[in-house]
Amino acid sequence: MRNKLAVLFGVTLMLVCFAPAGLGQSSGRVEFISLESAEPVLSGLRDALPPDLKAAGPPNDTQWSAWVQLKDREVRNRLIRGEEDTLVNLLRFGVTFTKEYRIDDEFLVRYGQSSLVNSFAENRANDLIHAWMAPNPSEGLIEMRIFVEKHGHSLKTARERTETKQYLLDSLARLGDEYLKYKSQPKDERRYRMFQDRGISLDTNLWPDYLLDSAFRSMLEKGMLKPGGVRRIAVVGPGLDFANKEAGNDFYPPQTIQPFAVLDSLIRLGISSASTVELDTLDISENVNMHVARIRRAAAQGRSYILQLPWNTERPMSDEYRAHFVEYWQKLGDKIGQPVAPIPVPKAAASTRTRAVKVRPDIVTRVIPLDVNVVYQRLSWPADRAYDLVIGTNIFLYYGAFEQSLARANVTAMLRPGGFLVTNDKLPDKVPSELKDVMEVPVISSEQPLVQDFAFCYLRTN
Ligand SMILES: C[S@@+](CC[C@H](N)C(=O)[O-])C[C@H]1O[C@@H](n2cnc3c(N)ncnc32)[C@H](O)[C@@H]1O
Domain closes at, from 174, 197, 220 = 197
Q: Would you say residue 15 has pLDDT above 90? A: no
Of the three residues 197, 231, 256, the one that is the final residue of a domain is 197
pLDDT tens digits along 252-303: 999 999 999 999 999 999 999 999 999 999 999 999 999 999 999 999 999 9
Greater model confidence, 450 or 156: 156
| Residue 169 and residue 226 in one domain | no
CA 423 to chain centre: 12
Residue 4, pLDDT > 50, answer no
Amino acid at 96: T
Same domain as 104, residue 221: no
Say whether both 265 and 375 belong to one domain: yes
Q: Please check whether residue 182 lies inside any domain of the structure.
A: yes
Q: What Å distances lie between residue 181 and 19, 92, 184, 187, 337, CA to CA? A: 39, 19, 5, 12, 44
CB-ligand 1 contact for 282 (6 Å cutoff): yes
**Cα(26)–Cα(19) distance, integer angstroms:** 10
CA distances from 405 to 40, 172, 412 (A): 9, 34, 11
Number of domains in the chain: 2
152 Cβ contact partners less than 8 Å away, ≥ 6 residues apart: none
Q: Does some domain include residue 299?
A: yes
Quick check: is 327 in a domain? yes
Residues 249 and 398 in one domain: yes
Q: What is the mean pLDDT of residues 203-216?
A: 96
Same domain, 189 and 235: no
- Which mutation among 81, 196, 283 tests ligand 1's pocket best, with the greatest number of atoms within 8 A of CB? 283
Per-residue pLDDT for 342 more than 80?
yes
Instruction: Convert the pLDDT of each residue in 35-47 to its tens digit.
Output: 999 999 999 999 8
Residue nearest to atom 20 of ligand 1 (CA): 373
Task: Using a pLDDT cut of 70, give the percent of the chain over it.
Answer: 92
Residue 310 shares a structural domain with residue 184:
no
DSSP 254: -
- Looking at the DSSP bridge assignments, the partners of residue 435 are 460
Does residue 341 have a pLDDT over 50? yes
Residue 25 has pLDDT above 80, yes or no: no
Tell me if 211 CB under 6 Å of ligand 1: no
Judgement on whether residues 183 and 212 belong to the same structural domain of the protein: no
Do 335 and 367 reside in the same domain of the chain? yes
Strand 387-392 relative to strand 415-423: parallel, antiparallel, unpaired? Answer: parallel
Give 280's strand partners: 234, 368
Residue 411, number of CB atoms within 10 A of its CB: 26
On whether residue 381 sits in a domain, the answer given is yes
Task: Report d(CA 316, CA 312) in Å as an integer.
Answer: 9
Residues 332 and 455 in one domain: yes
pLDDT at 193: 56
Ligand 1 centroid to residue 444 C-alpha, Å: 23
Q: How are beta strands 311-312 and 337-340 bridged, if at all? A: unpaired
pLDDT band at 197 (very low <50, low <70, confident <90, very high): low
pLDDT tens figures, 82-118: 999 999 999 999 999 999 999 999 999 999 999 999 9
Domain assignment of residue 75, yes or no:
no
Please check whether residues 332 and 379 belong to one and the same domain: yes
Query: Is residue 112 included in any domain, yes or no?
Result: yes
Tens digits of residue pLDDT in 47-71:
889 999 988 889 999 999 999 999 9
pTM of the model: 0.91
pLDDT, tens digit, 9 for 90 and up, residues 396-431: 999 999 999 999 999 999 999 999 999 999 999 999
Backbone torsions φ then ψ of 189, nearest 5 degrees: -90, -10
Instruction: Let me know if residue 120 belongs to a domain.
Output: yes
Domain with residue 281: its CATH number is: 3.40.50.150
**Domain of 435?**
207-460
**Residue 376: CB partners within 8 Å, gap ≥ 6?**
32, 33, 68, 69, 71, 72, 75, 406, 410
Q: Is the shortest distance between the CB of 75 and ligand 1 below 6 Å?
A: yes
Give whole-number Cα distances, 408 to 148, 152, 240, 374, 427, in Å: 35, 37, 24, 9, 8
CA 283, 285, 286, 292: dihedral to nearest 10 degrees? -50
Give tens-digit pLDDT for 373-382. Answer: 999 999 988 8
Which residues in 298-329 are b (16+ Cβ under 10 Å) and which e? ebeeeebbbbbbbbbeebebeeebeebbeebb
* CB 201 near ligand 1, within 6 Å: yes
Residue 20 has pLDDT above 80, yes or no: no
Mean of per-residue pLDDT scores for the chain: 90
CA–centroid distance for 162 within its chain: 32
Asked if pLDDT for residue 13 goes beyond 60, the answer is no
> What residue's CA is closest to ligand 1, atom 19?
373
Shared-domain flag, residues 355 and 294 = yes
What pLDDT, on a 0 to 100 scale, did the predictor assign at position 219?
98
Interhelix angle 115-133/61-93, nearest 10 degrees? 100
Residue 415 domain-assigned? yes
**Of the candidates 163, 197, 231, which is a domain's last residue?**
197
Top-confidence residue, 12 or 76: 76
pLDDT score of 189:
55
Other Cβ atoms closer than 10 A to 46? 10
- 140 and 215 co-located in one domain: no
Please name the residue ranges forming H helices in 154-206. 158-183, 187-197
